[in-house]
Amino acid sequence: MKTMNSKILSQLINLTAQAGEIIMDLRANSSDYSIKADNTPVTVADKASHELIVNTLQKLTPNTPILSEESSHIPFSTRKSWDEYWLIDPLDGTRDFIDGSPDFCISIALIRDNYPVFGLIYSPFNKVHYYRFENNSSVKLVNKTTSTILTSKPKRWEKIVVGRYSNNNKGLKEHLKYKTNFETFKLGSALKFCLIQKEFITTTQNLVGALNGILLQEFGYLKGQEEK
């Protein structure tokens, strides 16, 4: 795929909305899950969303490889030759989903030369899309209405966003031990990075960069990483 254009964006928005409907339809059965080899849960909704997204992307961009959290293992010897690929989490925040929290989402990034040039996050519960192209502003899409995400510098309090299951993190507690002027927000899945982008970021950080950390590091699939 040479360029990421508005036509593909529209198709991705429709695709993630469809996947989101499937996830929401299966929400009543969220307590029915199994444990993967890495000791993380997987539900029928994870698998159903994965199948739809992967099958559709294969039709939309047949020459672009796909790496999903629910994919079968793809060896580094294969991945190291990829100059471009889709990196997806078909249901990010599975534990939140199982617990009945609305803090779950679908994450898709287009990686080119080891860097994410496009990122999209969709909240099925709220029916909200967040996306960004490289070198452009981040955008929020609700009910077919788009708005550019603007940021502002906090006037007084430091605002700290942590994962719903990360609030007991020893490193975080140590970091906050000597701070007094902060406010903590708990939010699950990659949606926390949308909140950071929308409310707190004052630098050039953005959704594309956030997805680089969210997806690549969380999956352990950095292209230059050695096989474990």
**Position 18 in a domain:** yes
Q: What is the CATH number of the domain that holds 11?
A: 3.30.540.10
Q: How confident is the model at residue 228 (pLDDT cuts 50, 70, 90)?
A: very low
Q: Whole-model pTM?
A: 0.78
**Position 1 in a domain:** no
**Position 225 in a domain:** no
Distance CA 179, CA 173 (A): 10
Distance CA 119, CA 214 (A): 11
Comparing 40 with 197, the larger pLDDT belongs to: 40
Q: How many CA atoms lie less than 13 Å away from 155 in the CB half-sphere?
A: 0
Residue type, 42: V
pLDDT of residue 14: 97
Comparing 17 with 147, the larger pLDDT belongs to: 17
**Position 86 in a domain:** yes
Across all residues in the chain, what is the average pLDDT? 79
Q: Reduced to 3 states, what is the DSSP secondary structure of residue 194?
A: helix
Nearest to 101 by CA among 204, 205, 189, 195: 189
The yes-or-no verdict on residue 219 having pLDDT over 80 is no
DSSP designation for 188: -
Comparing 208 with 114, the larger pLDDT belongs to: 114
Q: Reduced to 3 states, what is the DSSP secondary structure of residue 82?
A: coil
Stretch among 178-192, 195-209, 210-224 having the lowest mean pLDDT:
210-224
Please name the residues in contact with 165: beta carbons below 8 A apart, sequence gap of 6 or more. Answer: 95, 188
Write the pLDDT tens digit of every residue in 114-155: 888 999 999 999 999 999 888 888 888 999 999 987 766 655
**For 144, left (φ over 0), alpha (ψ -120 to 50), or beta?**
left
Stretch among 20-24, 35-39, 165-169, 203-207 having the lowest mean pLDDT:
203-207
**Position 40 in a domain:** yes
Domain of residue 108: give its range: 6-219
pLDDT of residue 197: 57
- Residues 41, 95 contacting (CB under 8 angstroms): yes
**Taking residues 174-203, what's their average pLDDT?**
64
Residue type, 186: K
pLDDT of residue 152: 62
Count of structural domains within the chain: 1
**Position 117 in a domain:** yes
Backbone angles phi, psi at 140, to 5 degrees: -110, 130
Residue type, 134: E
Burial (CB count within 10 angstroms: exposed 0-12, middle 13-18, buried 19+), residue 145: exposed
CA 110 to chain centre: 12
- Which tokens sit at 84? 């471009």
Residue ranges with strand state E in 127-209: 128-133, 139-142, 145-148, 158-162, 182-186
The yes-or-no verdict on residue 17 having pLDDT over 60 is yes
Stretch among 27-31, 56-60, 187-191 having the lowest mean pLDDT:
187-191
Backbone angles phi, psi at 92, to 5 degrees: -85, 130
**Position 228 in a domain:** no
Write the pLDDT tens digit of every residue in 92-105: 989 889 989 898 99
The yes-or-no verdict on residue 82 having pLDDT over 80 is yes
The yes-or-no verdict on residue 207 having pLDDT over 90 is no
pLDDT of residue 116: 87
**Position 227 in a domain:** no
The yes-or-no verdict on residue 10 having pLDDT over 70 is yes
